[in-house]
A = this chain, B = another copy of it.
């Protein structure tokens, strides 16, 4: 038997992303959670289960069992609300919302909180590079010296050569992110950058420079997911999760079929559009996982917005807030920031805010449907959601 339970987002909240030296892991999580509860206009005790999204707290903060930690500190442990943690590296956030979606769809829960958090500034330097490499294949990639930036650079080099793409096109992804982030009070970097600045920044892993790479971020984001029954009973105007899909590719990049095609993204996007019975041209805007500018380009293609090698035609005008397909109105991973466990949940916060028409200065004009793509590591996991309509 197949079910038809519809699932909605009814509230969203996030902290500012940034280098938040003065804030703790648990403090960030609770701040975002309380904002989401307040935004939804519900009582904390109505929440029936908490899905915590976190990637690296075990290694960075010596704290596993994050679900319990958040539950305890936010006071909902008092209500014996179960809490578990979802980890799919940098796709943890999207994966956690997907679990919440399935849990509500199964009929077991009516109100679920998803909270994503990461506190990355507690370590730094080579130790951080080593830790971010824990999302790669440790034995087959990281031990041999590969880092996330190095793997992205290899993709970029071959992509630029095979499709005759100038480095300038990659830089334009970051220029767009910074422009949008300048209008987002929660963004880590609110400075606009010029194409020249984006092109001439300090090299990281050539051809990628500092302006091609998402930063080390602290931050948290939370959404409240609810059943159709709950939304109707309480007369809430939620935003429907029209579809949810996840797909997988090899963990180690060398095993994949192509170095510049993210098969997990191709398949998850296709499945999500199919389930939502929507064509891509109905999408009003998209939040994509551009942890490196090259991935932003590749994702535009793998999601279907451009043919392979042709994203360069979109990055100058089309992806702008007032373009044909606004990309990352939030500021994206480059400028809003990339606190691993929070990143995917933060995409929902932005989409919910946009679809409710409350994004202020960075509001996309009359958006109807949003496509969110959250990616794990260098593409081993992709989770795609389509949101739309106001109940």
Q: Chain A: residues with CB nearer than 8 A to chain B?
A: 1-5, 24, 26, 49, 55-56, 58-59, 61-69, 71-72, 76-78, 80-89, 91, 95, 99, 102-103, 105-108, 130, 133-139, 142, 228-229, 246-252, 255, 263-264, 267-268, 376-377, 380-381, 383
Contact = CB atoms under 8 A, between A and B. Distances in A.
Task: Count chain B CB atoms within 10 A of each CB in A84, A267, A376, A377 and give the residue with the most.
Answer: A84
B84 A246 contact: yes
20 contacts: A1-B229, A49-B246, A58-B58, A61-B138, A62-B134, A63-B138, A65-B135, A65-B251, A67-B381, A68-B88, A68-B89, A68-B248, A71-B251, A77-B249, A77-B255, A80-B248, A82-B246, A83-B248, A85-B86, A102-B108
A250 B78 CA distance: 7
A331 to B, nearest CB: 25
Contacts of A99: 84, 99, 102-103
| Copies of this protein chain in the complex | 2
B251 A137 contact: no
Contact of A137 (B69, B136, B250): B69
A3 B5 CA distance: 9
Contacts of A72: 137, 250-252, 255, 380
A78 B102 CA distance: 24
A250 B267 CA distance: 40
A58 B59 contact: yes
A64 B59 contact: yes
Contact of A134 (B64, B88, B142): B64
B80 A267 contact: yes
Contacts of A103: 99, 102, 106
A370 to B, nearest CB: 21
A65 B376 contact: yes
A239 B26 CA distance: 40
